Each structure stands twice: as structure tokens, then as C-alpha cells.
Amino acid sequence: MTSYLTRADLSVAAPIVEFAEASLADSGRDATAFWAGVSGIVNDLVPRNAALLARRDELQAQIDDYHRQHPGQPDPAAYRAFLTEIGYLVPVPEHVAVTTENVDPEIATMAGPQLVVPLLNARFALNAANARWGSLYDALYGTDAIERTGELAPGREFNPARAAAVVSFGREFLDEIAPLTEGSHRDATGYRVDTAGLVVATAAGDRRLADPARFVGYTGEAEAPATVLLVQNGLHAELLIDRTGPIGRTDAAGVQDIILESAVTAILDLEDSVAAVDGEDKALGYRNWRGFMDGTLTESVTKGGTTFTRSLAADRVYRTADGGEVTLPGRATLFIRNVGHLMRTPAVLDRNGDEVFEGILDAIMTALGSLPELEGPNKGANSRTGSMYIVKPKMHGPEEVAFASELFGRVEELLGLPARTMKVGIMDEERRTSANLAASIAAAGDRVAFINTGFLDRTGDEIHTSMHAGPFLPKAQIKAQPFMQAYEDRNVAIGVASGLTGRAQIGKGMWAEPDLMHDMLQKKIAHPRAGASTAWVPSPTAATLHALHYHQVDAFAARAALPAVSAAALDALLVPPLAPEGVLTEEVVATEVDNNVQSILGYVVRWIDQGIGVSKVPDIHDVGLMEDRATLRISSQLLANWLQHGVITEEQVDDSLRRLAVVVDAQNAGDENYEPLAFEEGSALREPQGPGIAFIAARRLITEGAAQPSGYTEPLLHGLRREKKAEQLARV
């Protein structure tokens, strides 16, 4: 049971009080004044937040009525006129000029991969922060980026043929980013540094770089460096030279590895990838964030029978050819993703005993946790410009962006921070924001430091917004529809036109198949080619491989060469991806139902029973896919849409749930903490042999999906997770 303490006119969960007051004491701030200020923010902004949500509901009800009266694909001109009339579409600003200041180069002027990682898992979060640098050789050897069949198959023992293929790939990469005046890095027999720069020894004589500026620095001795640092398109690559190492001793030049600057930035997540449903969960996230900001977070890790302590990586220092010094960050520059405006939390109750909005609490507590890095003993360890970067998801249009900006301003006043310290990252993932992106950017024009497409949530919102227009296509086909390309193109074009270049990131979404790195290398290069300065990856290994794309493509040059997006792109954006007549055959529908039910069960059982907010969930074919609440939203909303239009019945859903529960149980057989989904046939709800809370959650997400606010999964998940936690506590 949650224990509450009275602070001002609020009831605050004890773990939140403990976190806040320890942080206040460390920063020398008065706790009484702080809680009075928190009360003022809550009392002023909670009603405003509620009004914004009521406006969402009002607009959705009007759209639902429109589609009921005009079923099928809407006429573009008439539909656009309707959306304008009800205020869903707002006037496009004549000119948007973003003025954000004090943005770190990793965000403003560098291009590279971005990790998103659950903040409640300290080990994963530390891995992400330290993924600023990653081994190219390990990433190639350990994944399907290098062919895994025949003589190149990894096997249980070290495979010299595979290692040779990795080294060959590495030499080709070096020739791409730092070509020699003549010859190739394949010919290198050694590297050394003199006052003119890098010297590459070959059997045919010494060679230099075609562009001497590609050499940055080195460590060790100039005649026999331990590392050599190169740069291309603003990203660095380090040659690790060790003639005694297992690879280096077989390499003519002694190159043991190539270390790539990889995850330039990372988002530590309190939203879609976590299951934080009460004060205890929220306080854990806030403590972990503070641990990053004061540099003290550590985690005990056991691998191969050896236990060690993982902590934040140190910066990297190199000598230059002229005797100077270069220091590069050892860690990714960190964002924190707060929750959106929808959910309330039992972590704090207002003077009426009502739960406050979780997004308001997040803004206050994460800013409080940032104080050691903004002004305290660890100042500048994350942001050398004195900024805090907050990704704000699931906002619907410019009014809600303006509200987030106002909230951040109130928190700055509360903590005595300089105005606009708290930068906002706008997730362009709800249709109302996509359709009004320029106005949304303008609403936070002095704070915005990031926009990013989230095609997963964008698809979920597309389905819910047009729920009553008709049956949607299967989800794999939705991604290929014209609205999605218009969405992606407009995001970059509007961001550039609004002046984000040099002030903010423009990003793209997640690669959700962590085991398919060969495919990622083939496809994800499209993101820098589209002018995106960052794109999401599911692991540090994927970050290292995706970094190759930013060496191959200058994202900022690609952005400058992009064609303008036509005004007609908005009409394309507003076309719902409905299924044409004859597409939803009985076979197609049956397959799609099973695929979606399996992914829903596989994700929800871990969320509800174990509090795991993101994980690699095997699909129905045992291919591991990264699943979080965004992917859950798509699957549940699609099936809810098909139920709504009679494509499927609840009986079909129940049959699939029962059959696939057995499959999911088998896929999780090796997890000692797993609670089976399958239950005795014919038993009633809540009998000992009946379905558990996780199974019920999966079913309700489908059968009640059309009624969920904006199609979000959080209201059902949070309530049922708290129920599960109470059940688990009762067992103890």
C-alpha cells in the first residue's frame, strides 16, 4: 500500500518525498518553499491540462460523427474543410523562425544514431549512455551484418574466416572515410604520427591521407600509437592498435579493432518503454535520472561467472600532431522522455484527493534531478551549454505544445533556473500534430531542440482517429500507404523551413528488428538520405552499425538538397489507409488476427506480470521484435477497428487468444519469473484455473480499444498492473 505524506496541500507518496527532499537538501533549496511552489503549479495547471484532454475528446467525437455520416474514403476537399471548421486544422504560420539557444553540438550540428532505453532498468540505461563508442569488429562478428552461413558461420569456437571477413569490412570502411593519397588501408603495415599528421606505412612506402584533416589525434607514442582518431562528417572512428591482441597480432598493421563514435545521443525513457504505475516506480526512475546527472549511478553486472560494476564511461583524451590535446565525450548526450499529457498518477494527490497529471510531476521531478549537472558538482557533464533536454511525447497539436512550454517555464521559476534551460523535444507522432507541425514548432519556438517521427504511434493514432471511416489495411501494409511517406517528408521539410538546422535534431523512428542487422544496414541508410540528423536504434550494437550510414551520407548536405514538399502533401497525410474491397479475405484476416494477438499477449504478459515495459518479443514465427506500448497500440487498435466494422467477431478474438496463449507460454518457457497465460478451458474469470490479469488485459485492449482515449493503452495497462502488484504483494 502506498504511504502518503502531507506537503503543502498535497498528499505525496513517501518515495517521491524522499527523492525530492534529498535532492533539495543537496542543492541547498528550501523544502517548504518548494512544495508550496509545486502546489501552485498543480492548482494552476491541472485544470488546464484537463481542458486540453476534453478538447481532444470533443474533436474526436466530431470526427467520429463525420465518418459515420460519410463512411469510406472522405473527399479530400470536403474533409479538409470540415477539419478546418472544427479547429482540428489551424492556420499555418506565415513564417516560423526557431530561436532556441544553448543547444549542444550533438543535437544541433552533429548527425548520428540515437538510443531509446527504459530508465527504470539501470543496466540498460548505463549501456545506452556508454554506447557513445562501440566496437565495429564486435558488431560485425556477432550479428548477421556479415554473412552467417558456410565458412563464415560463427559457431561456438572462434572462426578465423569470419574474423578475416570482419577485418576486410573494416579496411574497406577506412578507405571510405580516410582514403590514402594512393593505395589502400589494406596495404598498411603500421601507423605513426609526425608533425604533419598521420603516416601509413605500406610495403610500397609511406602514405598519407588524401585529406589530412581526417586525422584528429592519437594516444600512446607518436612512433607507435595505441590509438589513431579519424573523423568523417563530424563522426569519429578510432583505430585500436595492439600487436599483442588476438586480432592485432595477426594483422599486418596491428589493428585490433575499430571503435566508432556511435550513439551520439540517447533518450532515457519514462514513457513507452517502462511500466511505471505508482509512486514507487516513479521514484525509481527519478533516482536513476539523478544518478546520471550527478555521475554516481552504477550497476553490478555478472557475465560469464564474473561480477563487475558498470559505471559511466570517462571522456576520451587524444594528442594532436602539433602537440595539442583533444577531448571527446565518453558518453551520449542524454535526453529524458517525460510522459505525455494524458495520464494521472497516484504518486501525488491534490487538495481534493484527486491524482495529479503525471506529465506535470515528471517535469518537476526530472528537472530537480538535473540540478547536479546544471549547477552542481557535476556541472556540464551532460550539457556543456547548460541545457536540459526533455522529449515530450503524444502531444496533440500546438495548444498542447504551448502548454508543455508553459509548464517548463513554471518549473524553471520554481527551481530558480535560467529561462529556457529546459528544452523540448516534440514527438511528431499524433495526426493532429503532424497536420499542424509548423504551428506546433512555433508554439515552442524558443525551446524546441528536437522533432522526431514516430511511425508506430503515428499509425496507432491514424487508426483511432479514423476508427469509424471503415476497416483498415493489415498493419504491414499501412506503413507503405501514401499518408506515411507524406508524414515523413513533411516532418523534415517543415523542420528545415522552421529553422531547426543548427539548433535542433530532426529525427526518424525505430528499427524494431534487433536481430536483423543486415537488413538494417540495407534500409536504414534512407534516414540520413532523407535529411534526418538522427534515427532510433534498438541496441548499442545497432547504434555502431547505423553509425556507418552517417559516415557514408552527410545528412545535412542531403537535407539541403531535398526537394520542397508540395502543399498537396497535407491532403495525402489526411487519407486514412482503409482496406479496398476484396483485400481482407478470410485467410488474410485470420493470419492478421493471430499475428496481432500473439504480439499483444507476448508483450502484455511481461508488462503486467513483471513490469517490463520494452522487450524483444518473439513473433508468431519466433522472430524477435522490439515491442513497447507504441507497437501494442497499433495491434490493439487494428483489431478494435476490425471488430467495430464486423470484419472479425469477439468469438474469433477469444479463439485466437486461447490458442496463442499456449504459443506465448512455450516461447517464455525459459523464464523462471514467467506466469503462464493459458488456462483451463471452460473456467470462469477469476477462478484459480481461469485467465489471469495479463490475459484479461490483452483481451480488454482489443475489445475496449475503440473506447480508449486516442487509442492509448496506458489507462488499461496502468490500472491492471497496479492490480497485479497488489495481487503479488498479497501472496507475499
The phi and psi torsions of 239 (rounded to 5 degrees) equal -85, 120
The predicted structure's pLDDT at residue 564: 85
Which of 709, 200, 105 has the alpha carbon at shortest distance from 449?
105
Query: From the centroid of its chain, how far is CA 401?
Result: 19
Give the three-class secondary structure for 307: strand
Separation of alpha carbons 463 and 633, rounded Å: 10
Strands 10-13 and 4-7: antiparallel
DSSP letter for 649, please: -
DSSP letter for 619, please: -
The predicted structure's pLDDT at residue 689: 60
Q: Helix H segments across 205-301?
A: 279-294
Dihedral of CA atoms 59, 62, 63, 65 in degrees, nearest 10, equals 160
Separation of alpha carbons 632 and 137, rounded Å: 34
Q: Count helices and strands (H / E) in the chain.
A: 25, 26
The phi and psi torsions of 136 (rounded to 5 degrees) equal -65, -40
The predicted structure's pLDDT at residue 686: 44
For each of the domains in the chain, give its residue range(s) and CATH number, in order of start: 133-261 (2.170.170.11), 586-731 (1.20.1220.12)
The predicted structure's pLDDT at residue 685: 46
Which of 693, 575, 712 has the alpha carbon at shortest distance from 636?
712
The predicted structure's pLDDT at residue 732: 76
560-582 confidence digits (pLDDT tens)? 999 888 888 999 999 999 999 99
Give the three-class secondary structure for 295: coil
The phi and psi torsions of 526 (rounded to 5 degrees) equal -60, -25
Task: From residue 525, give the alpha-carbon distance in Å to each of 450, 490, 535, 555.
Answer: 20, 19, 10, 10
Give the three-class secondary structure for 542: helix
Task: From residue 560, give the alpha-carbon distance in Å to each of 442, 496, 577.
Answer: 21, 9, 31
Q: Considering the entire predicted model, what is its pTM?
A: 0.97
Find the catalytic residue in 132, 207, 331, 337.
337
247-299 confidence digits (pLDDT tens)? 999 999 999 999 999 999 999 999 999 999 999 999 999 999 999 999 999 99
Separation of alpha carbons 389 and 512, rounded Å: 24
* Weakly modelled stretches of the chain, pLDDT under 50: 685-688
Q: For cell 483511432, what's the residue?
A: 464
- Known catalytic residue: 628? yes
